[in-house]
Chain A
Amino acid sequence: MIKYILVALALGVAAGYLNNNFGNVITNSWVSGYLFDFSLIFLLFIMGFAFGLDKEAMAKMRKTGLKILIFPFSVAFGSILGGFVGGLILGINVAASMAVSAGYGWYTLAGPMVGQLFGAEFGVLGFTVNFLRELLTITTISLTVKIDKYAPIALGGATTMDTTLPIIVRYSGSEALITAFSSGFTLSIIAPFTIIVIATLG
């Protein structure tokens, strides 16, 4: 499984790079836009379908109830704490470092937002940290799932409602679907707020 994912990722990066630098044979938005959206929507439908079929998964979800919210809030708090400690260790602006990690993997948001609030250099950092977070979640999933069934959800942050969701469900099972989706969804909603709050207080 992870083999296919890594090969697909490497081929995709190579194809995108070559296409972009040697004459745009394929329209970029066709692959990174339409193909991406279509496969994602299709996957969410399939995963929802598998969840509906699974009797145990639904029973488990009912039992968990509102406790499901501990996931996004643990991830949010853990990420910001990581940004705080990282900022101290590196000797950079601690508030900026915290804002960077409060992107929770959503790099298209964190990059521009942190850039606007803390300057371009931190914008690049925000983009890179969160982009690498998504990449790390995908590439290490077969290892992190062994630490804890829900560790991939912690790694994935806001991305567990879309890009990393199919892979997480593949490794952690159908019962992880709602946990992962709701965690990613909640984090996506609170990401812009936490970044602004950190910038205001810092």
Chain B
Amino acid sequence: MLNLIVSLIAGMFLGYFLRERKKINLSKVTLGAIVVLIFSLGFSIGSNNELLSSMPRVGLNALVILLLAVFFSVVLVKTTRKMVKVE
């Protein structure tokens, strides 16, 4: 967790100090890194036999709970952010 915070803040400082430089386009680099990240996430899912075999057994219950949790989260975020006026 700490290394995530450190790299985020280090990036912010560097960005802040290079602000007046020419435009820097990072979208291709970011996309490449996202692809690598998601691939390795998939890899850890695919190599987890226990997870893969237990999913169908609890699948329906899991889906119901998940969809309700997500639904209420979205509704609440949307209403509260309008109430306190966060753009």
A-side interface residues toward B, CB under 8 Å?
1, 4-5, 8-21, 28, 31-32, 35-37, 39-55, 60, 63-64, 67-68, 70-71, 74-75, 77-83, 85-87, 89-90, 92, 97, 100-101, 121, 124-125, 127-129, 131-133, 136, 138, 144, 147-148, 150-151, 153-155, 157, 161-163, 166-167, 170, 181, 185, 188
Contact of A151 with B77 at beta-carbon distance under 8 Å, contacts A16-B47, A83-B65, A128-B62 already known? yes
B-side interface residues toward A, CB under 8 Å?
1, 3-4, 7-19, 24, 26, 29-31, 33-49, 51-52, 54-55, 57-59, 61-78, 80-81, 84, 86-87
B residues in contact with A74, CB < 8 Å: 73, 76-77, 80-81
A residues in contact with B63, CB < 8 Å: 132
Are A77 and B68 closer than 8 Å at their CB atoms? no
A residues in contact with B75, CB < 8 Å: 78
Contact of A28 with B47 at beta-carbon distance under 8 Å, contacts A45-B11, A90-B61, A181-B8 already known? yes
Are B12 and A101 closer than 8 Å at their CB atoms? no
Partner of B41, one of A9, A90, A128: A9
Contact of A133 with B69 at beta-carbon distance under 8 Å, contacts A148-B77, A151-B77 already known? yes
